[in-house]
Structure 1
Amino acid sequence: MSEQTVLPPKEVLEHVVDVHCHPTDAGDISDDVMNNLHIKICAMATHSNDQQRVSDLATRFPDNVIPCFGPVKIFHPWWYHEISLFNPPPPKEDHYRSLFLPKDAAPKKQEEFEALLPVLPEPRSLDEVLELVRSKLLAHPTAMLGEVGLDRSFRIGYQPYPSPPPRKLSPFITPIQHQLAILEAQFALAVELKRNISMHSVASQQITLDLMARMKEKHGAAWRAISIDMHSCGLSLESWKSLEANYTNVFLSLSTVINSRSDNHILLIRNCAEDRLLAESDYNSAEKCTSQTWTILETIAQIRGWPLETSWEDGELPEEEWGVVRRLERNWKRFAEGNHPELQPRKSRRLRKQHEHYPSDESEAE
């Protein structure tokens, strides 16, 4: 937010939802900060120690905070390598060697693996992690699963996380099949508990399209009962339009901090169906969540030609008079409620397009 930008009054902000942020990254948040927040936030747990902070924040401020549990330190694709598909997990070296070091690996790769291994933690079983997240979701009836997803560009660092930059990166990326096995198990949990999802997808466009097709076929109507938000969406317009056309439960959210790095966000905003757009800050400071969400709302309003509310009128307004806040509030309610309709027959003819190849992804942060 520039120094010239002025936030609207409280009666407008109370209708704004930041659908993806990380406010507890820096630790506990004071009551004063939360009392001045005014907007509603979807707070993502960022690492294993952060789960309780998110839980506590949602307990203290249930009207402002929708907790989202992964946690990222285990469930975000950047750390999927720490999860074993076996219960109990195999010995540490065997686990990581199976992920990163094929039998015919060059000597250089072996050296790099030996340098990385001491930094890596003991693996945890997927069963254990799923039960951990299940317990958090059940403790918070409105909680979402997030953030989870796929990332084919993130390289594992030689320094333990978190460590101050610059972090030296190894050449190792978690194999996509391992990521998919973990992500599909998470999706099954979300379907079972009927919880919405905040999804990260980087350098995985075609894989994401194929995944959505499998989930739709596997879970049927139960898949449409939940909503999926493509957070800080970096998909190409073609990929997004395929998701939009083929799945009534997939939404798109954008953030200034991530998406403004490329003009692709302008195409997405301009061409996304009006009822699928959401806004987020993707910020790690509760003090900045409001201003960062407001900046993307300003961008959406400008690109779509919608008014930007500076005051709030209660009661019904003709839809043609709605501003960006009122329109995205309606979208959030649809997202939160789930239970999306089946595709209309006129759209079903486009299903064959979902397996087309699309350009590579833009980058996305957490």
Structure 2
Amino acid sequence: MPLAELPSSEVLRHVVDVHCHPTDAPSILPESMEKLGITICAMSSRASDQSLVYNLAKLYPKKVIPCFGHHPWFSHLICLRDNISKEDHYRELFSTSRNEDLEALTTLLTSLPHPIPLSSIIIELRRNLQDFPDAMLGEVGLDRAFRIPYDYDASPRKLSPFTVPIQHQMAVLQAQMDLAVELHRNISLHSVKAHQPTMELLANMEAKHGTSRWNKISLDLHSCGCSSEMLKDIQRRYPNIFLSLSTVINGRSPNHLSLIKVSDPLRILVESDYNDVDMCAEQSWNMVCTVADVRGWTIETDWNENSNDPSKWGAVRRLEDNWERFKVGNHSVNRKK
């Protein structure tokens, strides 16, 4: 899909990219950050990039909302017990019944680091979130499709036969989400081939923390790939659940157009999911245009600061208002089950 032409800077500055990975790039040029015309929510995903997101947010506090957390692709690098050997942790995590799997695990063990205790992960996560009043939890989630590579940073990656057991992913995720609820922090959630476990997760979190406390925070289903019926059911049950879509992920399938159609219009957000900060504005704007087209919303060509009539708002103002609602949280608990 060709990229749409960017609007004027006075319109663009109201766009929020709710999910991107700029620190995944080898480096970020200062001039790239200086010319960035939107606000970005910069995600972390593993132990090595928490500090990178932290430092980027410190350098550019008006443009970067930091998001701290551990992605399910790296959840195997976290152990649930403090005193466990590296070999015991990975052998317990990756069951091997076939000889070829045993050989694969032996090879994989040589490249895997010593696991970090979940207790230590939560201590660092708490510190980072508390250092930034607007920080979010992200990227975290569940993924039943990802196979562990022998070397994540190699190109191309050679994949092992192993996936992270969903029970382990869930334990790591719930500990992080419990902290988010405690600190009243919003969440960017990844869910791939894990629709039923995700539904169970949401129900368990509400039951554990209570409806009122759970609805104080917002949760974004990032680059959501669920069915239209599932999204309608989720948003009917949970007033704190938002939807964000990206061209790079969701644009592969027309399903995202159906999701835009059926979503609560007050809970749609846009994202780039890009690791090149120079592309975040263009990719996010492309999704703004897609949302506007599907919903039949106009797109602002200039900005009227005194526009107080929501019926006359264009897509940018509507999406910005959705973002403000997402940020604030404290959602109404009056809904049908």
Which TM-score tier does this pair reach, normalised by the shorter chain? over 0.9
**Greater Cα shift, 205-214 or 5-14:** 5-14
Shift of the alpha carbon at 1:127? Answer: 0.2
For the residues of structure 1 that align with 2:152 and 2:98, how far apart are their CA atoms? Answer: 27
Q: What's the TM-score once normalised by structure 1's chain length? A: 0.89
SS in 2 for 1:206: helix
* Aligned partner (choices 64, 84, 87) of residue 82 of structure 2: 87
Structure 2 counterpart of 1:78, which letter?
Answer: W
For the 8 Å contact 1:28–1:53, the answer to whether it is kept is no
Structure 2 unaligned spans of 5+? none
1:293 aligns with 2:287: no
1:147 aligns with 2:147: no
For the 8 Å contact 2:246–2:270, the answer to whether it is kept is yes
Residue deviations 1:227-249 (CA, integer Å, cap 9, x gap):
11010011111111111000011
1:2 aligns with 2:2: yes
For the 8 Å contact 1:83–1:123, the answer to whether it is kept is yes
Shift of the alpha carbon at 1:46? Answer: 4.1
SS in 1 for 2:23: coil
1:263 aligns with 2:257: no
Structure 1 counterpart of 2:53, which letter?
Answer: V
For the 8 Å contact 2:45–2:140, the answer to whether it is kept is no
* Aligned partner (choices 161, 169, 191) of residue 171 of structure 1: 161
Shift of the alpha carbon at 1:26? Answer: 1.6
1:235 aligns with 2:226: yes
For the 8 Å contact 1:86–1:125, the answer to whether it is kept is yes
Name 2:67's counterpart in structure 1: 68
For the 8 Å contact 1:246–1:343, the answer to whether it is kept is no
For the residues of structure 1 that align with 2:49 and 2:174, how far apart are their CA atoms? Answer: 23
For the 8 Å contact 2:45–2:138, the answer to whether it is kept is no
SS in 2 for 1:24: helix
* Aligned partner (choices 199, 220, 237) of residue 189 of structure 2: 199
Shift of the alpha carbon at 1:189? Answer: 0.6
* Aligned partner (choices 129, 132, 155) of residue 137 of structure 1: 129
Residue deviations 1:114-139 (CA, integer Å, cap 9, x gap):
22221111111100111111111111
* Aligned partner (choices 243, 248, 264) of residue 239 of structure 2: 248
Q: What's the TM-score once normalised by structure 2's chain length? A: 0.96
For the 8 Å contact 1:25–1:46, the answer to whether it is kept is no
Name 1:156's counterpart in structure 2: 148
Please give the residue correspondences for 1:1-366 in structure 2 after superposition, counting only pairs within 5 Å: 2=2, 5-70=4-69, 75-88=70-83, 90-101=84-95, 105-158=97-150, 160-165=151-156, 167-220=157-210, 221-344=212-335, 347-348=336-337
Q: How many residues align?
A: 336
Shift of the alpha carbon at 1:144? Answer: 0.5
Shift of the alpha carbon at 1:100? Answer: 0.9
Structure 2 counterpart of 1:101, which letter?
Answer: S
For the residues of structure 1 that align with 2:51 and 2:120, how far apart are their CA atoms? Answer: 17
Computed over aligned residues only, the root mean square deviation of the Cα atoms, in angstroms, reads 1.4
For the residues of structure 1 that align with 2:89 and 2:175, how far apart are their CA atoms? Answer: 19
Residue deviations 1:220-270 (CA, integer Å, cap 9, x gap):
122111111010011111111111000011100000000011111010011
Structure 1 counterpart of 2:64, which letter?
Answer: V
For the 8 Å contact 2:140–2:173, the answer to whether it is kept is yes
For the 8 Å contact 2:307–2:313, the answer to whether it is kept is no
For the 8 Å contact 1:247–1:343, the answer to whether it is kept is no
SS in 2 for 1:198: strand
For the residues of structure 1 that align with 2:30 and 2:127, how far apart are their CA atoms? Answer: 26
